[in-house]
């Protein structure tokens, strides 16, 4: 008789899983599975001996529109890349370098650390040139990204609602500066479901650069908020075991691990009969996913089947903690059905030494960002994979400390590729000094609405009722940027 069968027979009366784990010798690795994914609120259907976990189909079924994209990879340049030194060349700013910043731009405007200081124009620190048949303008520090310029839609008129890092990350990820709302990846997973049955539908990867300040990224940036917590993002480490305790401890084989999982499920079923809490059933679903990940994750991380050309394309041997390794892993994740992957590179907070640091940080991400586009295209996946590249805000056209730039929320840039977006175009503009977005302004809510449209979802219809109100990713805002759609 298996452990689960003994428990089911012996513990038909009230018994909590907590008491069982405290009073038996189950391995630490097995118990840690319970922390692999957080508890949620969605029910699972019971059968005679085991719990069959229904595959989450998404609430937007059928879709509102024919989807152009099936999945999203968000290359998140954390820290606020300077649009003026990367994607948005301003010759007038170069001309005024070192001169006082016109007061008409800054009077009464929120300025982060430069408030009350003498403001001087700070020209572009790197040369720009035209790339591709489309003639897209990019800084020369991005030769590899320039090589895929004809695949890119560069948006130069973004605005955000926060001027400091953490609230700006929260705004970019959730559409509000209020902590506790669901991340966009959680919204996508809730609305669309995921084809993958043995990997999380929302995965987060991160790397740290060697130049500039590496701002911390809080786990609430991929939290499910008030959505059931099965939709929370799962952070994978980029070196070693990607998920803690995914490897069984010594002496524990797959059969024994299966028995432990079944036993915990049996206890959960007993508890569910006493306490009608849907989170108990969802916890069972998360145990099942955790168990399946013990088989799927090692195969995911094994890049021995990748060609030498592919590894050289990304500039990595895989699983080395680098941005390049994470971009390769992102491609492998979406190949396996993961719906939303965020790849954070924490390196773009350049308050000083921006010329040197931009060059160094651009070198860290240039090759692999372009490799991801080329690799997806070669595999026939770019057309239905939406790739986003950008940070939480931009940088000031005024200098900070004579060699850096401060935070800036009034205008910044990012690029998109694949997934139904037109390639080889630029959209929107800032003013001649790069301070204010002034032509075809794109708010963060507009970005979210456009992403959802490309995935086949009407952003106003993807809602979740919480505390008496229907919430959505775009809140009460957002319009689709129709002109960038292919």
Residue 315 has pLDDT above 50, yes or no: yes
Using a pLDDT cut of 70, give the percent of the chain over it.
81
pLDDT, tens only, 14-73: 445 444 444 444 444 444 444 444 444 443 333 334 445 557 899 999 999 999 999 999
- Angstrom distance (rounded) from CA 24 to CA 272: 21
Q: How confident is the model at residue 264 (pLDDT cuts 50, 70, 90)?
A: confident
- Angstrom distance (rounded) from CA 211 to CA 360: 6
Q: How confident is the model at residue 326 (pLDDT cuts 50, 70, 90)?
A: very high
pLDDT, tens only, 202-232: 999 999 999 877 888 999 999 999 998 889 9
For residue 297, the model assigns a pLDDT of 84
pLDDT, tens only, 351-379: 999 999 999 999 999 999 999 999 999 99
More reliable by pLDDT, 156 or 274: 156
**Residue 292 DSSP SS3:** helix
How many angstroms from the chain centroid is the CA of residue 148? 22
Residues composing the chain: 486
- Angstrom distance (rounded) from CA 227 to CA 223: 9
What radius of gyration do the chain's Cα atoms show?
24
pLDDT, tens only, 334-352: 999 999 999 999 999 999 9
Buried b (16+ CB within 10 A) or exposed e, 64-82: beebbbbbbbbbbbbbbbb
- Angstrom distance (rounded) from CA 141 to CA 128: 8
Contact indicator for 168, 467 with CB cutoff of 8 Å: no
> Closest Cα partner for 466 from 43, 162, 234, 178?
178
pLDDT, tens only, 289-310: 766 787 788 889 899 999 999 9
For residue 40, the model assigns a pLDDT of 40
H-only helix segments in 315-393: 323-335, 354-378
For residue 252, the model assigns a pLDDT of 63
For residue 212, the model assigns a pLDDT of 75
What are residue 352's phi and psi, to 5 degrees? Answer: -145, 160
> What is the reported pTM?
0.86
Mean pLDDT of 78-100: 98
Using a pLDDT cut of 90, give the percent of the chain over it.
70
More reliable by pLDDT, 290 or 333: 333
More reliable by pLDDT, 209 or 10: 209
For residue 240, the model assigns a pLDDT of 67
Residue 4 has pLDDT above 60, yes or no: no
How many angstroms from the chain centroid is the CA of residue 175? 14
For residue 162, the model assigns a pLDDT of 97
Query: If you write DSSP's letter for every residue of 429-476 in order, what string do you get?
Result: EE-TTS-SEEES-EEHHHHHHHHHHHTT--TTT--EEETTEEE-TTTT
User: Cβ–Cβ contacts within 10 Å for residue 28, how many?
Assistant: 8
What are residue 213's phi and psi, to 5 degrees? Answer: -80, 135
Q: Domains (ranges, CATH) in the chain?
A: 76-241+294-484 (3.40.720)
For residue 10, the model assigns a pLDDT of 54
pLDDT, tens only, 170-199: 999 999 999 999 999 999 999 999 999 899
- Angstrom distance (rounded) from CA 274 to CA 268: 10
Residue 282 has pLDDT above 70, yes or no: no
**Residue 242 DSSP SS3:** coil
How many angstroms from the chain centroid is the CA of residue 375? 19
């Amino acid at each position: 008789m298996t452990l689960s069968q003994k428990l089911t027979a012996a513990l038909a009366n009230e018994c909590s899983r907590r008491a069982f784990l405290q009073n038996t010798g189950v391995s630490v690795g097995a118990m840690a599975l319970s922390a692999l994914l957080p508890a949620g609120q969605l029910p699972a259907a019971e059968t005679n001996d085991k719990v069959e976990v229904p595959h989450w189909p998404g609430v937007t079924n059928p879709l509102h529109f024919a989807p152009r994209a099936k999945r999203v990879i968000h290359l998140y340049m954390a820290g606020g890349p300077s649009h003026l030194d990367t994607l948005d060349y301003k010759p007038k700013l170069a001309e005024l370098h070192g001169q006082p910043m016109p007061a008409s731009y800054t009077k009464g405007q929120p300025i982060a650390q430069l408030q009350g200081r003498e403001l001087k124009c700070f020209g572009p620190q790197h040369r720009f040139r035209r790339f591709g048949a489309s003639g897209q303008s990019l800084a020369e520090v991005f030769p590899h990204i320039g090589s895929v310029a004809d695949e890119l839609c560069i948006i130069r008129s973004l605005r955000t609602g926060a001027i400091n890092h953490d609230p700006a990350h929260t705004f970019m990820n959730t559409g509000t500066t209020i902590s506790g709302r669901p991340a966009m990846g959680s919204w996508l997973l809730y609305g669309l479901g995921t084809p993958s049955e043995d990997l999380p539908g929302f995965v987060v990867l991160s790397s740290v650069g060697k130049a500039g300040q590496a701002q911390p990224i809080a786990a609430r940036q991929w939290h499910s908020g008030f959505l059931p917590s099965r939709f929370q993002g799962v952070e994978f480490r980029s070196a070693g075991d990607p998920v803690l305790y995914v490897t069984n401890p010594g002496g524990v084989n797959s059969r024994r691990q299966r028995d432990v999982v079944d036993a915990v499920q049996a206890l959960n079923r007993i508890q569910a009969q006493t306490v009608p809490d849907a989170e108990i059933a969802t916890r069972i679903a998360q145990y099942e996913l955790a168990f399946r990940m013990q088989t799927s994750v090692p195969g995911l991380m094994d890049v021995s089947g990748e060609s030498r050309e592919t590894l050289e394309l990304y500039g990595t041997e895989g699983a080395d903690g680098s941005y390049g390794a994470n971009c390769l892993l992102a491609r492998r994740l979406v190949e396996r059905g993961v719906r939303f992957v965020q790849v954070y590179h924490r390196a773009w907070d350049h308050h000083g030494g921006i010329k040197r640091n931009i060059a160094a940080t651009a070198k860290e991400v240039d090759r692999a960002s372009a490799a991801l586009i080329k690799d997806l295209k070669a595999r026939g996946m770019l057309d239905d994979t939406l790739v986003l590249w950008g940070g939480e805000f931009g940088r000031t056209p005024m200098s900070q400390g004579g060699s850096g730039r401060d935070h800036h929320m009034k205008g910044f840039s990012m690029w998109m590729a694949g997934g139904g977006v037109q390639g080889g175009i630029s959209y929107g503009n800032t003013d001649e000094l790069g301070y204010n977005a002034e032509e075809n302004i794109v708010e963060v809510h507009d970005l979210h609405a456009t992403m959802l449209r490309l995935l086949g979802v009407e952003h106003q219809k993807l809602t979740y009722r919480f505390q008496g109100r229907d919430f959505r990713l775009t809140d009460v805002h957002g319009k689709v940027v129709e002109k960038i759609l292919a």
